Amino acid sequence: MKSIKTASSSVLFGAESYRKLAETLTDKNYSLIIVFVDENTHENCLPYFMGNLEGEFPIEIVEIESGEINKTLETCSGVWEALSELGVDRKSAMINLGGGVITDMGGFIASCFKRGIDFYNIPTTLLSMVDASVGGKTGVDLGMLKNQIGVIVEPEFVIVDQAYLATLDKRQLKSGFAEMLKHGLISDKDYWKQLKDSFNSTSIDEAISTSVQIKADVVQKDPRENSLRKILNFGHTLGHAIESYFLSLGEDKMLLHGEAIAIGMIMEAYLSTIYTGLSSDELDEISSTLLNHYGKVNISNQDKKEAIALLKFDKKNSHGQIKYVLLERIGKAVFDIQIKDNDLNDAFEYYNSL
């Protein structure tokens, strides 16, 4: 069975990993196992999961309504009450079966309940396979501000099984693909080249494990994001502000995480040409690739102002200063770069001019 180590956990690949899960659940003799789902993963993923898990276990299903809009403390409160009513104790465990909303929130719920119970992540979207379920960042949004409340705590292990992707719609698949492109941009030019023209034909299986390996290597070196781990936030300073702003406009205007990050990567690549020497050829290559996959979003002057106002809440800030991750070249990122307001404005202008 293929597996990749992270800081204090591991990611197991493929159908065989369910045997390892069954053995672990048996060894740990949990008093109760909560499988945490949303309505879509309940319908599309739970039957397959249960079919693969051999053995008799005390399982209860807890379901929440899907969507980023529900990634809140209120939802957590409801789930904590449900866990309490079901009799979950410190010898119980949670299995988070879903996309990044389920794994981010499930990890947070588990790590706070009775000061922490074991949890396992089984990502069912491309985005959660290559990114959200790996590395231990858990949490919820605060109002429209993304991921402001949370803890870093790794699951017992993660199972990546791409069979779940069969029911995922194309827009969601592409959202995850943005994080894979990011992995190439920050640390592996060959991987970027291999991915950029071939969303359909790349062997997705192999690419998923390359992405997990890139993320795991970074997380192992700096699990608490004191330094190097910041590079995983390329595209996310502006991307999160744009995502938060569009989230505040309601569900029909909302951008998917990867869609917002794609915009953030274009703008931050532009800033990289000013601050860290990214060549204009590479900027063109990045912009045209991302536009080709994600199209263009109309960002008005008002949208820009409101998104920029949200930057002060970015989690990489310290002492009131906003810090960016930029590229020296494709495959090499640097972090903690400060940007002048004028240049920020120009980054939005650059995106609008494409």
Contact positions toward ligand NAD, by CB under 6 A?
A: 38, 40-41, 44-45, 66-68, 71, 98-102, 104, 124-125, 127-128, 131-132, 135, 137, 146-147, 164, 167-168, 172, 175, 257
- Measured CA to CA, the distance from residue 130 to residue 177 in angstroms comes to 9
Q: Is there a contact between 53 and 45 (Cβ–Cβ < 8 Å)?
A: no
Smallest gap from residue 92 Cβ to ligand NAD (A): 23
Distance of alpha carbon 45 from alpha carbon 40, whole angstroms: 8
Place of tokens 């396992």: 120
Contact indicator for 338, 250 with CB cutoff of 8 Å: no
**Cβ(141)–Cβ(72) below 8 Å:** yes
What 3 state SS string does the chain have? Answer: CCEEECCCCEEEECCCHHHHHHHHHHHHCCCCEEEEEEHHHHHHCHHHHHHHCCCCCCEEEEEECCCHHHCCHHHHHHHHHHHHHHCCCCCCEEEEEECHHHHHHHHHHHHHHHHCCEEEEEECCHHHHHHHCCCCECCEEECCEEEEECCECCCCCEEECHHHHHHCCHHHHHHHHHHHHHHHHHHCHHHHHHHHCCCCCCCHHHHHHHHHHHHHHHHHHCCCCCCHHHHHHCCHHHHHHHHHHHHHCCCCCCCCHHHHHHHHHHHHHHHHHHHCCCCHHHHHHHHHHHHHHHCCCCCCHHHHHHHHHHHHHCCCCECCECCEEEEEECCEEEEEECCCHHHHHHHHHHHHHC
Q: What tokens does 302 get?
A: 């008002």
Residue 29, both tokens: 């003799």
| Residues 157, 12 contacting (CB under 8 angstroms) | yes
